[in-house]
Homo-oligomer: A and B are copies of this chain.
Amino acid sequence: MPSLDPGRNLLAIGQLAERSGTSVSALRFYEQNGLIASERTAGNQRRYRRDVLRRIAFIRTSQRVGISLAEIRAALESLPDARTPTRADWVRISARWRRELDARIADLQHLRSELDGCIGCGCLSLATCGLRNPGDVLGETGRGAVRWDSASHPDADEE
C-alpha cells in the first residue's frame, strides 16, 4: 500500500470525520462548497491531506464566532493555493475573526446594559426606550416616546 495509504499520509472521509468531530455528510457538503478539497483514489474515494484537519478546525471555530460559511470560504480563499498554509497565514485570517469576535461581544454587552436599564426601570418598552428604536421614529400622536425620567411612566401603551 504505497501512495494512497489512509492512516499514514492521507485520510479517508470517515477518519477525517472522526478526528475532526464532523459528520461525513458535512464534510462532503463543505467540499461541494469549496471549503475543503480532496484527492481521489483510483476507485473514486476521497483522500484528504492532513492539513485539512486544520481547515476544518478553522471552519468550526469560525462558526462558533458566528461567521457564515460564505465568509469562511472567502477567508480560506485568501490562503495560498500553491503551498500548504503556514502558521503566519492562519494567524492572519484568525486575527480577523478575533476582531469580529470582539465586536460581537461588545454588541451583546451593549445589549445587556440596555436590557438592564429597561429591566431596571420596569418599562421594557424597548421600542420607545431607544433600544429597539435608536432613531426613534415614532408616531406623531405625542405618546409613546415619553421617557421614564418624567414622572411615573406616562407611556400610553396600556399596561
The residue that A54 contacts in the complex, of B54, B65, B125, with Cβ under 8 A, is B125
A40 in the interface, Cβ–Cβ < 8 Å? no
Copies in the complex: 2
A24 in the interface, Cβ–Cβ < 8 Å? no
Known A87-B159, A108-B104, A115-B94: A127·B51 in contact at CB below 8 Å: no
Q: Report the separation of the CA atoms of residues A159 and B79 in the bound assembly, to the nearest whole angstrom.
A: 13
Q: Report the separation of the CA atoms of residues A29 and B21 in the bound assembly, to the nearest whole angstrom.
A: 36
A residues 93-147 in Cβ contact with B at 8 Å: 94-95, 97-98, 101-102, 104-105, 108-109, 111-112, 115-116, 118-119, 122-127, 131-133, 137-139, 141, 144
Q: Report the separation of the CA atoms of residues A122 and B64 in the bound assembly, to the nearest whole angstrom.
A: 20
Q: Report the separation of the CA atoms of residues A64 and B108 in the bound assembly, to the nearest whole angstrom.
A: 8
Please tell me the size bucket of the interface on A.
Answer: 35 or more
Instruction: For residue A93, give the distance in angstroms from its CB to the closest CB of chain B.
Output: 9
Q: Which chain B residues lie closer than 8 Å to A21 at the CB level?
A: 127, 132-133, 137
Question: Given contacts A7-B141, A53-B127, A60-B132, could you give 4 more A-B pairs where the C-beta distance is less than 8 Å?
Answer: A50-B157, A54-B127, A91-B119, A101-B115
